[in-house]
Amino acid sequence: MYAIPLSAAPAAELRPLEPWRAAEFLANLDRCRTHIAPWVGRSFVATDLESAEAVLRRYWDAQGRTGAGIHGIWLDGVLVGGVLFVSIDTETGVAEVGCWLEPAAEGRGLVTRAAGLLIDWAFRERGVRQVIWHTRSANARSISTARRLGLTFQEADDSRDEPMEIWSVTRETWAGGAGAASDEAQIGALSAAFLDAFTNTDGRAVELAATVEPAFVPGAVVVSGTGTVKAESLADFLTPRQTLLTGGELIDFKEWETSGTTLVSGDVAQRLVRYAKSGVLRGAAFTGSGTKSMHLVRTPEGWRIAGVAWSDDAAE
């Protein structure tokens, strides 16, 4: 059986999660039951050994039929979570990927790397044409993972009591496999995701530290050219905006690209975008526009932002 390294220190691996590992699976669920309950289906969160084995057997059987299996993430020899194909529809060519993880294992990029392996396999080996990621709008960590994987927002799902979103990527635009997206496409997706991270419409939760910081290199600088020029660290830039977007002063806010150009030279690049924005600030609706210039560098994990300079247009 395979064991794919996800990190070296501490040692993390992706392995098959067979039914005979039900005791490990149940112990993992017991450690994160409350943490993941709002985000996963009730049928997944087994409560005893028998139901834990039944969950794993259901995915094991599905893997034999369509490839839609379940795979565990072990960190220093302990099962801490995993990734899975919720479904693979062989007629439509659409696969849905999901994940779960203990709180103690978060922040290491394990799910991103593991889910990337599944998506790449689905496109390369299974002939899937589209992979979707179904998540609640309030699950900022899940949305952040979708962005880091290169998925883009597809549509809102109003069929349930809580706001849901569907993110997706196609075989043609997948950055990890054959026919990989160009540098320009990857940078464009990163740029669009940066602006989208500040959206709080439709009840979407905003967690800027979790969603924005992974897109930047350590020590990155943000410079405002609106009014007085101000340069600040990424943390100093994000902190007041997190408060504004979650404290009720700024609601129904969204910001999006209206045009953009990318220049790549080796392992450095620049992205120049025009953006528009709208929202309700302290009860008053507003719209606006402006320009952002992003400087990027290629890293082993992909393109990352080294600095951003931005300026809002003057009000007419």
Q: How far apart are CA 314 and CA 223, in angstroms?
A: 17
Same domain, 82 and 193: no
Domain that holds residue 237: 185-316
Residue 227: CATH number of its domain = 3.10.450.50
Residue 10: CATH number of its domain = 3.40.630.30
The β-bridge partners of 222 are: 232, 308
Same domain, 16 and 101: yes
Instruction: Give how many domains the chain has, as a whole number.
Output: 2
pLDDT band at 197 (very low <50, low <70, confident <90, very high): confident
Q: How far apart are CA 55 and CA 40, in angstroms?
A: 13
Domain-terminating residue out of 181, 208, 227: 181
pLDDT digits (tens, 9 = 90+) for 137-188: 888 888 888 888 888 888 887 776 778 899 999 988 886 543 345 677 778 8
Same domain, 189 and 177: no
* H/E segment holding residue 56: helix 49-66
SS3 state of residue 315: coil
Q: Exposure of 264 by Cβ count < 10 A (0-12 exposed, 13-18 middle, 19+ buried)?
A: middle
Share of the chain above pLDDT 70, in %: 95
**Range list of H helices, 218-307:** 234-246
Tell me how crowded residue 219 is: count the other CB atoms within 10 A of its CB. Answer: 9
- Answer whether 290's CB lies under 8 Å from 313's CB: yes
Domain-terminating residue out of 181, 213, 235: 181
Q: Is the pLDDT of residue 10 over 80?
A: no
Same domain, 32 and 171: yes
Same domain, 142 and 208: no
Q: Furthest-apart CA pair in the chain: how many Å?
A: 67
Same domain, 84 and 220: no
Mean pLDDT check: name the lowest of 108-112, 172-176, 306-310. 172-176
Q: Exposure of 159 by Cβ count < 10 A (0-12 exposed, 13-18 middle, 19+ buried)?
A: exposed
Query: What is the number of alpha carbons within 13 Å of residue 238 lying toward its C-beta?
Result: 20
Closest to 186 in 3D by CA, of 221, 143, 151: 151
Q: How far apart are CA 202 and CA 138, in angstroms?
A: 9
Domain-terminating residue out of 122, 154, 181: 181
- Mean pLDDT, residues 267-279: 93
pTM of the shown model: 0.62
Cis bond before residue 10 (omega within 30° of 0)? yes
Task: Give the pLDDT of residue 156.
Answer: 84
Same domain, 193 and 286: yes
Catalogue the long-range contacts made by 6-10 (C-beta closer than 8 Å, 24 or more residues apart): 6/73, 6/110, 6/113, 6/114, 7/108, 7/109, 7/110, 7/113, 10/75, 10/76
pLDDT digits (tens, 9 = 90+) for 49-84: 999 999 999 999 998 888 899 999 999 899 999 999
Same domain, 232 and 176: no
Q: How far apart are CA 168 and CA 204, in angstroms?
A: 18
The β-bridge partners of 87 are: 96
Same domain, 195 and 245: yes
Tell me how crowded residue 229 is: count the other CB atoms within 10 A of its CB. Answer: 10
Q: How far apart are CA 305 and CA 284, in angstroms?
A: 33
- Answer whether 91's CB lies under 8 Å from 60's CB: no
Same domain, 192 and 44: no
Same domain, 138 and 227: no
> Which phi and psi (to 5°) does residue 55 adopt?
-60, -50
Same domain, 90 and 169: yes
- Answer whether 32's CB lies under 8 Å from 102's CB: yes
Q: Is the pLDDT of residue 203 over 80?
A: no
